[in-house]
A and B are shown apart, each in its own frame.
Chain A
Amino acid sequence: MLDTAAQIARFRGLLATLTARELKARYRGSALGFLWSLINPLLLLAVYSAVFGWILQPVRGGGVEPYALFLVSGLFPWIWFSSSLLEGSASLVTHAGLIRKALFPAELLPTVAVAANLVHFLLALPVALAALAIGRALGYPVAGWGTLALPAVVLVQLPLAAGLALGLAALTAHFKDMRDILANLLTLLFFATPILYPIEAVPVAWMRALVRANPLTPYTLAYQDVLFRGTLPEASLWLQMAAVSLVGWAAGAWFFGRLKETVVEAV
């Protein structure tokens, strides 16, 4: 696990270059360019706001006004996390040519996916912050000093995203079905995480317990604390996040280290 981290640290220059390449290449030739980093999450936000803010409002329960700002607090980080895992898990297969034909540090490929999506997240963040500022100016009790703790939450989540991306990438190289399994699993997890609704709004007790037991819930709660409420997450939340991140990184890096030698032959 430490070797994987050391290897990534050793090639951090290459990691930065490759991430820049990934970002440049994605928008090269498109008219709106990096604006897509903003437009994509905003469109998704608009759809969810419309559906759950107006159409299904009675179902979702109240207490989280303005709803669009509640939604943005959980949704933007989730998009980062889920796209990181989706792209990261496919990265070894996508770049099979690179690792089959050159001595290339394979651990960088899933990590680049996580880093590139983090940049997209950071690019979209000013929009979320501006919206929160407007909300605050309109008199809603959103954002505040606690918002300054946002980078800390991102940093705590980073090892989880990177570790899972590594492990899933190595698994996908050997077991191609993983890609579809993961896509479905992420959809399931999205609805089992209190992004669209506050936990208290879940009417059935065992379902509430399930949402609380979801290892990704602490992160969403923390993002909602710092962004939507502008408060610092409680110590217990920090501990839960640290524990999940540690386990996620360790498990992912272990899987990757175990499968690394055979990946070249499998992709």
Chain B
Amino acid sequence: MIRDQLGRAVTFELRKYVGGRWLLDSVFDDKAYAIEEAKVLKERFKSVPAVCVVAVTEEHGEFRESTVFRQSIVDEEPAIRKTVQTRPETAATPANHGAGTAASKPQRRSAWACYLQIAFGLIVVFAVGILGFAALGLLR
């Protein structure tokens, strides 16, 4: 057990993000060792999306935690989200053609529905007209 400058007991907990929650992986009394092992763990197990090292300080029976290291693909999520949000704006550029296709598909679908609706309307009008003329012919 090491102690900080104020004489408080400090341990470094390596935690991994598995199955939607943080799990304790191992405990160290040395920050550098803990961080090094966190990097090894992240590199070695691709199924672990995130690792962190938390300094746990005990003082008078109370525990305080502070994250001293974190490596995660979760951290990249805001950037990914931002990219997704900007896709419709950049859809017209050739470089983002593929990305824009998915976003513009619903618009195309609604346009075709509109054309079909107009065509159907015209067919109905013509049919009513033809029936009208036929009815007039019969009356004569």
Is the pairing of A and B real? no
